[in-house]
Amino acid sequence: MVGRHAVSPGSTRGTRSPSGRLAWPVPLAFGVMGGIVLGLGVWWGGLVLLAGALFAVLDSRAVLALLALAGGGLGFGSERLNAARPDRLAPWVGAQVTLKGEWDGQFLRLSDPPARVAVSPKPRVLPGQMVVSGRLVRPEGRRVPGGFDQAAWLRGQGGLFVPTPTTVLVAARVRSSTPEGGGRGWFRRGLTAGLGERQAALMQATELGDRNDIGREDFAEGYSVRDAFARSGLSHLMALSGQNVALLTGAVIWLLAWLRVPLGWRYAGALLFLAPYLLLVGVSPSIFRAVLMGGAVLLGYALGRGRLDPYAVIALAAVACLLPFPLWLLDVGFQLSFLAVLGLTLSARVAERLPARWPPALRLALVATLLAELATLPVIAGTFGQLPLVGLPANLIAGALMAALVPLGFVAGLLGPFAVAVNWLTGLLASLLLGVVEVFGQAPVLTWGTVGAAGFVASGVAALAGVLWLLGRVRAPVALGTLLACAVLTLLPGLLRPARELVFLDVGQGDSTLIRARGLNVLVDGGGSVGSDFDVGTRTVVPALRALGVRSLNLVVATHADTDHIEGLSGVLRAVPVGELWIGQRKTDDPVLNELLTVAREQGVPVREVRRGDRVSRDGVTLTVLWPRGNVWSTEDNDNSVALTVESHGFRAALLGDLPNPAEAQVGVGDLDLLKAAHHGSRYSTGEAILKESTPHDVLISVGRNTYGHPHPDVLKRIGASGAQVWRTDRLGTVRWPLP
């Protein structure tokens, strides 16, 4: 996100246009954005471009409409030039390779050929020279609702002068590494000298934007530091933003004032600070925007031009960002940064409406925090699936700590290894900030589903009504009525026609199925990562539930004690209210099942051992347990899998866990419309007997990249011979199957 300080409307000097007139960079920015969207082949980019021209016409300055059209051409050309850049690593896609380059904590930069590569899993080594081996693959798109679209994100990380990462080095193994030297290496050593691991990780995040180490820290089992930042509304503190720029330039100006430097030279000195600062921390959307805007403001003050038109400065910064980096327009960081600073431009007007007896600093802090949160609300809700409820108090407290921590941390970085002299105080402030995050991170959050085009339009209309009220153009009842109308219109579709579907989540080589109907949300298994510390439940399943608008689960079913089926359920139980947990065999010697049962006990979730004939029915959807019988237990976990049928108005589907053949043929599934193949398409499941008995029209196989040979060719052959169509999550991603 962005910092809490921005230019406010004031003097008409500098780039500020005369009162009531449109600042010329505004239509230019609209044109550039529209041209980029048109370059991506999206028709509504033309509407954005025309909006810029329309603003100019309404302002009786038709000549600026030509500027909007020129901006459209520039944006379109920039996007096309960026898309036409050659893919230097295309010949090696799919190959095992060993690469040597400069690791910056995010990407491996190669010199020959000139390219940047994402690395998975991220190496646990400091930035610097690195030799790493693995297999080059293409990045994946979004495979689950609310999931991470790696391909889209990588496309936005390059530009006309910076290579776009087009490949991912998977199964990466570091062969050798040498920590970075020079000024950045010196600075990093200063940030961490004498600090504990968690404190050092925080300082690297707040001063350099390096979140690799902080992302691995936990406050407690199942309670990560990164999640706590998100739940408390403080995630922006881990990203470099306008807050850092404002605090550091303010510190520079204060220092120069203390040294009795003339006023104009103070601003010039702060301006000269920004370029080396950008080189130190690197280019990212929010920090580049902040440096550009900060530089423009400082230059205006240094030249005696006074305050600049904030909308002109914002528009110029957007143009300067998007022409060299056109796909930043789709980057969440870029969107949050500019939306927040647009909200902050109204700070002075809103602060005037608060009681005059309140201290001005308090009024501005309250207003700035609230406006930034409101301006970014739809993007945060749609991207992260949740809205913090304690963001205002958390930011007020954390903001006071950051005001001291950021400048002090920068001084520590400049001191390098000698920073132990000041890091006792840095460590104390870092610990206090982490304490704030830990406490506020335990507060409840408001979960949110995916925000569609209608949701963004409704948010825009509501925001416009609020702005017009602040400007005195509409009365308060009209603004409030507009807000309520937008809220009702966005809520009505889900209330009038709730989802009825089976959702087969793509959790890689594992299983997770969501059953949805009015008043019924059931999750069968939650995936898991064998031999990996990746938390599929927290990182994949929970975001998918939030994106689908699932705020609670009536039932969670753990089919059997296999990691790839139930490991992720622990994270689900911690994050989502659950009515009851169903299990089949209550094993006492399985660590994964024991962990799940422990979490269920801690969260107060009742556990029920189900048997054949148990069922639940709601809104015409019936779930019936077919297996296990419970009188005899096998020594093989797969034989004891909970098997279910799902019935809805004549439609029948069966979920069989990992049941092998011949056990799957003994459960009596009956005639089916949809069969979820047992055991990810193993050769020992989905036999001829069950296919003849069920005669399914479709067979769903939940499978990911694996070394087991799933789905086996024999299984695919048997399904093909039965006349059923195969649906595979490894090829299709998440499969959503409507229920009648």
The identity of residue 541, as a single letter, is V
Question: In the Cβ-directed half-sphere of 486, how many Cα atoms lie within 13 Å?
Answer: 20
Task: Supply the pTM of this predicted model.
Answer: 0.86
If DSSP states are collapsed to H, E and C, what string results for 14-77?
Answer: CCCCCCCCCCCHHHHHHHHHHHHHHHCCCCCHHHHHHHHHHHHHHCCCCHHHHHHHHHHHHHHH
Contact 80, 128 (CB under 8 A): no
Dihedral sign for Cα 493, 495, 501, 503, please.
positive
Which residues have C-beta within 8 Å of that of residue 210, sequence separation ≥ 6? 105, 127, 204
Mean pLDDT of 577-596: 92
Smallest CA-to-CA distance from 267 within 320, 311, 321, 306 is with 306
Residue with tokens 């970085």: 413
User: What pLDDT does residue 221 have?
Assistant: 79
| Count of CB atoms situated within 10 Å of the CB of 125 | 17
Three-class SS state of 671: coil
Mean pLDDT of 607-611: 94
Distances (CA, A) of 547 to 144, 146, 486: 9, 5, 20
Mean pLDDT of 394-409: 94
Residue with tokens 């029915």: 617
Separation of alpha carbons 646 and 669, rounded Å: 10
Mean pLDDT of 567-589: 92
pLDDT at 19 over 60: no
User: What pLDDT does residue 9 have?
Assistant: 37
Tokens of 345: 């431009």
pLDDT band at 356 (very low <50, low <70, confident <90, very high): confident
Contact 137, 170 (CB under 8 A): yes
If DSSP states are collapsed to H, E and C, what string results for 504-558?
Answer: ECCCCCCCCEEEEECCEEEEECCCCCCCCCCCHHHHHHHHHHHHCCCCCEEEEEE
Three-class SS state of 116: strand
| pLDDT-above-90 percentage for the chain | 63
pLDDT at 443 over 50: yes
User: What pLDDT does residue 1 have?
Assistant: 35
User: What pLDDT does residue 195 have?
Assistant: 94
DSSP, res 191 = H
Contact 574, 599 (CB under 8 A): yes
Strands 553-558 and 578-583: parallel
Beta strands in 595-728 (DSSP E): 607-609, 615-618, 621-627, 643-648, 651-655, 674-676, 698-701, 725-728
DSSP state letters, 349-372: HHHTTS-TTS-HHHHHHHHHHHHH
Smallest CA-to-CA distance from 289 within 350, 336, 348 is with 336
User: What pLDDT does residue 338 have?
Assistant: 93
- Could you read off the pLDDT of 714-729 as tens digits, one per residue? 999 999 999 999 999 9
Separation of alpha carbons 285 and 72, rounded Å: 21
- Could you read off the pLDDT of 67-109 as tens digits, one per residue? 999 999 999 999 999 999 999 999 999 999 999 999 998 999 9
Residue 143: phi, psi to the nearest 5? -110, -10
Mean pLDDT of 492-512: 88
| Count of CB atoms situated within 10 Å of the CB of 661 | 18
- Could you read off the pLDDT of 257-310 as tens digits, one per residue? 999 999 889 999 999 999 999 999 988 899 999 999 999 988 888 887 777 889
List, in sequence order, every residue forming a beta bridge with 102; answer none if it has no partner. 109, 129
Distances (CA, A) of 318 to 38, 59, 279, 738: 17, 21, 20, 42
Contact 19, 312 (CB under 8 A): no
pLDDT at 3 over 60: no
Residue with tokens 């809805």: 648
Distances (CA, A) of 130 to 87, 119, 139, 163, 248: 22, 11, 21, 19, 32
Residue with tokens 């990212």: 284
Contact 321, 292 (CB under 8 A): yes
- Could you read off the pLDDT of 631-674 as tens digits, one per residue? 777 878 888 899 999 999 999 999 999 999 888 888 989 999 99
Separation of alpha carbons 400 and 422, rounded Å: 19
Separation of alpha carbons 264 and 261, rounded Å: 8
| pLDDT-above-70 percentage for the chain | 97
Separation of alpha carbons 408 and 426, rounded Å: 7
